Amino acid sequence: MIQTLLFVALGGAIGSVARYLVNITLPRLFGHGFPYATMTVNVVGSFLMGGLVVVLAMKGGTRFAPFLMTGILGGFTTFSAFSLDAAKLWQAGEVTTAAGYVIGTVVLGLAALFAGMAFARGFFA
């Protein structure tokens, strides 16, 4: 149990550092008006989660799920930050942008999850 907790913690550190790098890079590239970084990590994280759930199940690697899925992807994705970004847009009076952000993130996140699953099935089948 202790070993699993350490793997989750290590994965969380890796995922959090990756998220931080996205959070400082994308606003420099695309500006600060829209939360591109949060949306990106949630969509990419959803794609990776979809792929991993298939690969780990097909390859008998579910023992790696705590490190990869709970740790790395849990540290990388930012649902709470997504909620805060949406609330900030709403409170700033940018209701249409907030709605587009919420709908876009959810739809793209689900699409990315299914795409990740399909990719993994096609690649590892």
- Give per-residue pLDDT as tens, 99-125: 999 999 999 999 999 999 999 999 887
Q: Which residues are annotated as a binding site for Na(+)?
A: 74, 77
- Give per-residue pLDDT as tens, 32-47: 999 999 999 999 999 9
- Count structural domains, the chain: 1
Q: Which residues are annotated as a binding site?
A: 74, 77
**Burial profile 69-102: b = 16 or more Cβ within 10 angstroms, e = fewer:** bbbbbbbbbbeebbeebbeebeeeeeeebbeebb
Query: Against a cut of 0.75, is the pTM above it?
Result: yes
- Give per-residue pLDDT as tens, 56-98: 999 999 999 999 999 999 999 988 889 989 999 999 999 999 9
Supply the range of the domain harboring residue 20: 2-124
